[in-house]
Amino acid sequence: MDSVRAAHAGVAVLTPGRTLLVRGLQAARGRLGLVALLYSVGALLSLAFAGLLVKPLQEAVAASSYAPTLAESFDLALWADLLELRGGAVRSQLIHLAWIIPVSLLWKAAASVGILHALQGHSFWQGAARYGPRSLLLGMLFFCLSLLVVVVVVLLFALIGAQWEGEIGRTWVWFFFGPAAAAFGLAVVTVMRDAARAALVVGGRSTLDAAAAGISAAVRHRSIGIPFLVCLGAGSLFAALSLLAELVTPGALPAIVRFAAQQGMQVLTAAVIVGWYGCLVAYAEAIWPRSVPSSD
């Protein structure tokens, strides 16, 4: 009990943001198998989605007069016109591919606790199986909280916009302040959710106790926000670079170079995810030490 009190009292000393970042970097560098697993499953899900969608897209393009132009370069306006003319078949196929959404959510819920378990020296698959259902429940709880945040932001800024005179003021409210507030709120909820999963796996908390601990972590301990912002920034950068490689004119770079660049960015994104969970393990070990050693 004394060690738990000391951990709570000394959290600012035990887990400064830089220390958490170092632990996260060590996790990403030292657990390349986890990085490869995340990348491989993500690539397989993307390949399944793209493979099932490519046929209706090919048929839609072939039936239009846009094929030569689209073969030369990406043109968003032409794609919009194409989907307006031939979008029925594509939308129908997208409905049939809706199964990939719950599969992805289930994988992410299981993978998050699997990574946390593996970073403690245990089996990824055992952690995913043992904590996966409760991780999914935590995800649903914090998804509801995310919806509440969005609703509150929309209502709040609707009231502000109604009181703000002039088009320029309303534009700032709806296109800058509102989205910024929503993004901030959703980022805080994301930290709460991931910290709750760390409390579940590392701290051995029950589901509801873990949810309360995750909320407390995001509100009371700002040191966890530093590695989250760094990881969020790095992940966003890699995603933007991957998209840029996709939008490059086909003639500007060989296809193999563009493909390699995209996959490299995906691998780095997987490393960022492992690093973030490494930060959470270091944080959770300091403030939620187990009273009984894990039996795994």
pLDDT, one tens digit per residue, over 85-131 is: 666 666 666 676 778 888 889 999 999 999 999 999 999 999 999 99
Which tokens go with 110?
């299981």
The answer as to whether 199 is a domain residue is: yes
192 is a domain residue: yes
- pLDDT band at residue 247 using 50, 70 and 90 as cut-offs: confident
Q: Are 238 and 265 in contact (CB under 8 A)?
A: yes
HSE-CB at 278 with a 13 A cutoff on CA atoms is 24
pLDDT the model gives residue 228: 92
Q: What is the pLDDT of residue 12?
A: 39
Residue 256 lies in a domain: yes
Between CA 246 and CA 249 the distance in angstroms is 8
Q: Which domain holds residue 267?
A: 12-48+100-287
Do the domain assignments include residue 66?
no
Provide mean pLDDT across the span 146-154: 93
Q: Is 190 domain-assigned?
A: yes
Residue 238 lies inside a defined structural domain of this protein? yes
| pTM recorded for the entire structure | 0.80
**The residue count for the chain:** 296
187 domain-assigned: yes
Query: Any residues with CB less than 8 A from the CB of 63 and at least 6 apart, and which?
Result: 86
Who contacts 193 (Cβ-Cβ below 8 Å, separation ≥6)?
138, 139, 142, 214
For tokens 């960022």, what's the residue?
272
Q: Among candidates 283, 146, 143, which has minimal Cα distance to 226?
A: 283
How many CA atoms lie less than 13 Å away from 155 in the CB half-sphere? 6
Query: 186 pLDDT exceeds 70?
Result: yes
The residue with greater pLDDT, 24 or 171, is 24
Poorest-confidence range of 134-138, 146-150, 221-225?
221-225
60, pLDDT greater than 70: no
Region 174-181 average pLDDT: 85
Helix residue ranges per DSSP H, 97-206: 100-118, 124-163, 167-172, 178-201
- pLDDT (average), residues 203-222: 90
Query: What is the per-residue pLDDT for 277?
Result: 96
CB 217 within 8 A of CB 188: no
Is residue 54 a part of any domain in this protein?
A: no
The values of phi and psi at residue 248, to 5°, are: -65, 140
